[in-house]
Amino acid sequence: MSDTILQCRNIKKTYPRLSLDLDFSVSQGELVSIIGPSDSGKSTVLKLIAGFVNPDSGIVAIDGQVVTHLPTEKRNTAVVFHDYALFPHMNVEQNVAYSLKQRKIAKDDMIPEIRRLLELVNLSGFEKRGIEDLAADEKLRLALARALASDPCILLLDEPLMLLDSKKRFELRNEIRQIHLKSGVTTVYVTNDKEEALSISDRIIVMKNGKIDQIGTPEDIYRRPGTEFTATFTGECNILPYDVILKTLRVPETERSKVIYQCFGPDHKLLFRPEDMVVNDMPGLPFPEFFPHLRFENAKIIRCEYLGKEYLVTAQYDEFIIKVYTVYRPASDCITAGIRMNKILEFNDGRLIRH
């Protein structure tokens, strides 16, 4: 996966309320997700790639060809928007055939190709169905088949799961990944759902106010977030100021100042994921003595959310708030939790300085 298929070089685009500034590339066959809050410019990135929007400056290149000023139909991209934009007066087969005809596929190849595409998206047998007779997920499948029928160099998906219920969202995100793997088509996938992106992407681009905050593998983004923004956008975080170290660090008194000095700078923030914390939520069981290094003794529980497979417990420790996951509903109104030093990320001025 090293051949570059898409390049967005020094792209700038200014709107009254958004300044886009981008530089990234995508390799052949990758599935790259773009995540970020609403209005961070995600859809605009897709429009720049597809040619619905022209940049003020910079270059878009697809498959080695600069396409910055080419119209959208000359770019060999296919877009699926969240409303799917199917042709309502055509049935399933005709929707797919439309894209095949654009490609001037021979008549004899048409039926087998339609069959292959519908099979790929799990819509076999739906050939003669009208659009109005399709469930929401079937419409998405058809939109994907129609997009793939144009044999695009790059498939662009803009929040395609937005209209589906949570169960279908879960199913379809995995199917999108399967379809991507089977078809091998390079895919840029916009979503505001971090779990979707983490679960199916080769790499993720995190956008903030029109800029790329971080690009990396899902593991990079989640485990080694480069900024506080990416850390908090991709999951629950504990963010504590340096002072907390002074109160909670568990090392012998003689070592204390050395460890503090070596490990953390004043004004820095410490960041760690709730799932990395060690918690004692079993009544009667002692808290492990040998670790962790920072311990929050008897933090007062202020909220306990049941998430199905676990509880997310929010607790007050001095003036700080900590979040931990527990298997059981805490038996008392306090909880003791700790974190090991090697699980702590250190941030200065919003940027990661050590992990």
# chain residues binding ligand ADP, by CB under 6 A: 11
* Distance in Å, CB of 80 to ligand ADP, minimum: 14
Minimum CB–partner distance for residue 236 and ligand ADP (Å): 22
CB of 128 to ligand ADP, least distance (A): 36
Kindly list the distances between the CA atom of residue 62 and the CA atoms of 29, 32, 110, 212, 239, in Å, as whole numbers in the listed order: 13, 15, 27, 20, 41
Instruction: Report what 17 binds from ligand ADP, Mg ion, none; CB cut-off 5-8 Å by kind.
Output: ligand ADP
Min CB(20)–ligand ADP separation in Å: 8
Q: Is 191 in the site for Mg ion (CB under 5 A)?
A: no
Please list every residue from 20 through 49 that binds ligand ADP, using CB under 6 A: 36, 38-44
- The nearer residue to ligand ADP, 40 or 183, going by C-beta atoms, is 40
For Mg ion, the closer CB: 8 or 294: 8
Alpha-carbon distance 229 to 207, whole Å? 10
Query: Which of Mg ion, ligand ADP, none is residue 38 near (CB under 5 to 8 Å by kind)?
Result: ligand ADP
- Pick between residue 43 and residue 68 the one whose CB is nearest to ligand ADP: 43
- DSSP string for residues in 95-154: HHHHHHHHTT--HHHHHHHHHHHHHHTT-TT-TT-BGGGS-HHHHHHHHHHHHHHT--SE
CA distance 5 to 29: 8
Neighbours of 275 (CB within 10 A): 14
Rounded to the nearest 10 degrees, how much is the dihedral formed by the CA atoms of 53, 58, 61, 67? Answer: 50
Please report how close the Cβ of residue 39 comes to Mg ion at its closest, in angstroms: 8
- Using the rule CB under 6 A, is 17 a contact of ligand ADP? yes
Q: Which amino acid is at 129?
A: R
Burial of 23 (0-12, 13-18, 19+ CB in 10 A): middle
Residue 191's binding partner among ligand ADP, Mg ion, none (Cβ under 5 to 8 angstroms by kind) is none
Site for Mg ion in 38-57 (CB under 5 A): 43
Distance of CA 52 to the CA centre of its chain: 24
Q: Which does 169 bind (CB under 5 to 8 A by kind): ligand ADP, Mg ion, none?
A: none
Tell me which DSSP letter residue 91 carries: B
Identity of the residue, 37 or 235, whose beta carbon is nearer to ligand ADP in the bound complex: 37
Residue 18 or 66 having the CB closest to ligand ADP:
18
Q: What is the largest CA-CA distance in the chain?
A: 83
Identity of the residue, 43 or 326, whose beta carbon is nearer to Mg ion in the bound complex: 43
- Which stretches of 177-293 are assigned E, i.e. beta strand? 186-190, 203-208, 211-216, 238-241, 269-272, 278-280
Q: Where does this chain touch Mg ion (CB under 5 A) — which range of 36-44, 127-135, 227-235, 330-338?
A: 36-44
| β-bridge pairing 351-354 and 345-348 | antiparallel
Residue 323 interacts, among ligand ADP, Mg ion, none and using kind-specific CB cut-offs from 5 to 8 Å, with none
For residue 82, the one-letter residue type is: H
Quick one: 162 or 321, whose CB is closer to ligand ADP? Answer: 162
Regarding 15 and contact with ligand ADP (CB under 6 A), the answer is yes
- The residues binding Mg ion (CB under 5 A) are 43
Residues at the site binding ligand ADP, with contacts judged by CB under 6 A: 15, 17-18, 36, 38-44
